[in-house]
Amino acid sequence: MSKFPILRVDYYDPVKIGRKNRILYTIYGVLPTLFVISFNLGEYGTMNYHTRLMISLPLLALIYFLLLRKVRSDINNMQTIGELEITQSGIKKRLGDSTEEFSFGKMRNLTLTKHMPATRVRESKSGYFSYILNIEMTDGLNESLVISDRSLDHNHKLSILETMKTLKKIVPIEVKILI
């Protein structure tokens, strides 16, 4: 069906990094509302309109720049270390020279969880740059991988979210999408 890059996160807990970046991205989205409220509340003080504008706009631009730079630097630090190929019969994982195959018959469930929000439109189709794919086997083995949203084949037009929705319809195992 499709191939997706496996990404390396330079931290012991990828879930924590994703949560931190989602919080930063939320602050990035809430900041304009807080700016307008504080700007309107400043009307009751002694400063005139132009002074408030000259102080608050550079401050807002600086905060936006620093937040966006932090989120983008975390995304740029993630490196591709392998690829994950999802087929109709199973999943093939290639890390360097080693190849491992997981058959859908030996899996208990697949869980896809959002990881890092995308900061540019071309980075993602679903709004997230990367996802965490958890593969739970019937013998108790668990495999967690950080997967990029964009596929390597299909000219980057297919997302992992669309692939998992299709997989949910055609495979006999439980496929969970936690978004």
Work out the pLDDT band at 98, boundaries 50, 70, 90: very high
User: pLDDT (tens digit, 9 = 90+) per residue, 151-176?
Assistant: 887 666 788 888 888 888 888 888 89
Residue 123: pLDDT band with limits 50, 70, 90: low
Cα-based distances in Å from 145 to 3, 18, 65, 111, 172:
14, 13, 30, 11, 21
pLDDT at 127: 73
Q: Which residues have C-beta within 8 Å of that of residue 71, sequence separation ≥ 6?
A: 21, 24, 25, 28, 117, 119
Say whether pLDDT at 101 is over 80. Answer: yes
**Does 136 have pLDDT greater than 90?**
yes
pLDDT digits (tens, 9 = 90+) for 75-93: 888 888 999 999 888 899 9
> What is the chain's mean pLDDT, rounded?
84
Q: Which CATH number fits domain 2-6+78-178: 3.40.50.720, 2.30.29.30, 3.10.620.30, 3.20.20.120?
A: 2.30.29.30
Domain boundaries, the chain: 2-6+78-178, 13-76
Q: Which residues contact 24 (CB under 8 A, 6 or more apart)?
A: 67, 70, 71
